[in-house]
Amino acid sequence: MTISTRLADFTSRLTVADLPAEVRAAAGLHALDTVGCGLAAVALGDADFVEASVVESHAPGSSSAIGVAQPMGPEDAALVNGVRCHALDYDDTHPDSVVHVSAAVVPAAFAAAEDIGATGEDVLAALVAGNEVSIRIGALAAGEFHRRGFHPTGMVGIFGATAAAARVHGLDPATTAHALGLAGSMAGGLLEFLSDGAQTKPLHPGWAARAALSAVRMARHGATGPGTVFEGPRGFFATYLHGIDVDIASEVDDLGTRWETPRIAFKPYAACHYTHAPVDALADLMKDEPFRAEDVEGVVAYAEPTGIGLVLEPAQDKVRPRTAYDSKFSLPYCLAHQLVHQGLTVDSFSTRGIADADVLALTPLVSYEERRYSDKPDSFGGGVRITLRDGRVLERELRHQRGGLANPMSDGDIHAKFRDNASLAMDADRIDQLTQLLTHLAEVDSLDGLALLRSAAARA
């Protein structure tokens, strides 16, 4: 059996009964968190271009796009929702694979489910199927995609989204394998947005979700994809990781016994995950050793090698973010904002925020040292060393970022994050209905309740 047929055999046969309770619960919480991120993006007017583009070429259908009043075709809905749910960079990330898993998988599964009237039970199984595929394919690269200029969420997310959509449609293993083979020719995503703060990064999960539905549609109609799309001499790993051997079998041998879905990390801040541990370390120091921004003489951030290229270099770009989106990938900005405002909210990463003179006065004080918290990018560890004008030197490190298994956010934290995000775009009654739907997927006969997402509106 090839890797794609082994993956397809697992995902196409997966049922809710196969899932441990913690896996079912985690999948529901990640769906809730992902939708909340998309609702906040609508409220804040982030990535409005994607709504405008699909409305302009509107294809009728029955799938819901967040903030778009009319139902639309599943491919369009998946695109809008994938972009919206990743627009704030507030959505979840799996540590080993460094993939924003849910931003591609959830939109693909939901759009397909509304299109054909699938049950919540099938959708929940599909979400886990998609998660496990994205994570295992991404984990084999162990940060190498980033080093080569690729964004794993786009490169890898399409395979998870395809597996999820195929499971929603009830495709058999052979047809699912063909869909995965087709998806391999659609995988993409470049990190070049880091050069000028452009808005291409949110496109990656949206395009992956849309392309996944197209791959599934074509496979249903008889299109074939290469069976060796992953391990072949001109396949996914040979081309995108040319020169690096990967043990692909090791990531599929324990499907169904090792579950990665509960290890997907939630985000407490709407910024790149490599900023989180240093920001939290600084926040802890400010509580334990009270000091003010004007007391600071210098800041040294501790960062993993992969994170340095994302949030600290090139240094001249990071001290003065060029766009609101750019600020999410600036550790100097995040630390300076924490010093001045004692916190980071979704509004911290705005046009107004990046013009804050008090914050920008502190960003040049931030330098960094490389630290390795793990042999692979599985923890997003980080820290800070603060030199104060009175001569004190304060230091704090976090081996594991907040939101992952080793330093978790509670279920209450995640529900509170969802309500905070959703309340920007809709009223409390709709929020309650969505919470009930998304956290009890296995108990609902249909996902008609997702139509509530169409009522989300921009913040006044």
- Give the pLDDT confidence of 195-252 residue by residue, as tens digits: 999 999 999 999 999 999 999 999 999 999 999 999 999 999 999 999 898 999 889 9
Mean pLDDT value of segment 54-69: 91
Nearest-angstrom CA–CA distance, 112 and 117: 8
Give one word for 111, left, alpha or beta, with left for phi > 0 and alpha for psi -120 to 50. Answer: alpha
φ, ψ for residue 360 (rounded to 5)?
Answer: -65, -25
Q: Do domains 3-267+409-455 and 273-398 have the same CATH topology?
A: no
Q: Quickly tell me which residue has 């693909």 as its tokens.
A: 108
Residue 428: both structure tokens together: 């409390």
- What's the chain's average pLDDT? 95
Query: Is residue 373 predicted with pLDDT exceeding 90?
Result: no
Residue 433 CB contacts under 8 Å (≥ 6 apart), including other chains: 449, 452
The pLDDT score that the predictor gives to residue 285 is: 97
Q: Taking the model in full, what pTM does it have? A: 0.95
How is the chain split into domains, by residue range?
3-267+409-455, 273-398
C-alpha closest to that of 308 among 365, 379, 370: 370
C-alpha closest to that of 8 among 239, 219, 246, 155: 219
Nearest-angstrom CA–CA distance, 431 and 454: 13
- Indicate the range of 120-134, 142-156, 165-179, 385-399 predicted with least confidence: 142-156
Provide the pLDDT confidence category of residue 55 given band limits of 50, 70 and 90: confident
The pLDDT score that the predictor gives to residue 379 is: 74
Provide the pLDDT confidence category of residue 74 given band limits of 50, 70 and 90: very high
What is the share, in percent, of the chain residues with pLDDT greater than 70?
Answer: 99
- Contact between residue 213 and residue 114 where contact means Cβ atoms under 8 Å apart: no
Query: Is residue 376 predicted with pLDDT exceeding 70?
Result: no
Nearest-angstrom CA–CA distance, 256 and 73: 33
Residue 200: both structure tokens together: 């291409």
Question: Computed from CA positions of residues 133, 139, 144, 150, in that sequence, does the dihedral angle turn out positive or negative?
Answer: positive
CATH architecture for segment(s) 3-267+409-455 = Orthogonal Bundle (1.10)
Provide the pLDDT confidence category of residue 377 given band limits of 50, 70 and 90: low
- What's the CATH number for 273-398? 3.30.1330.120
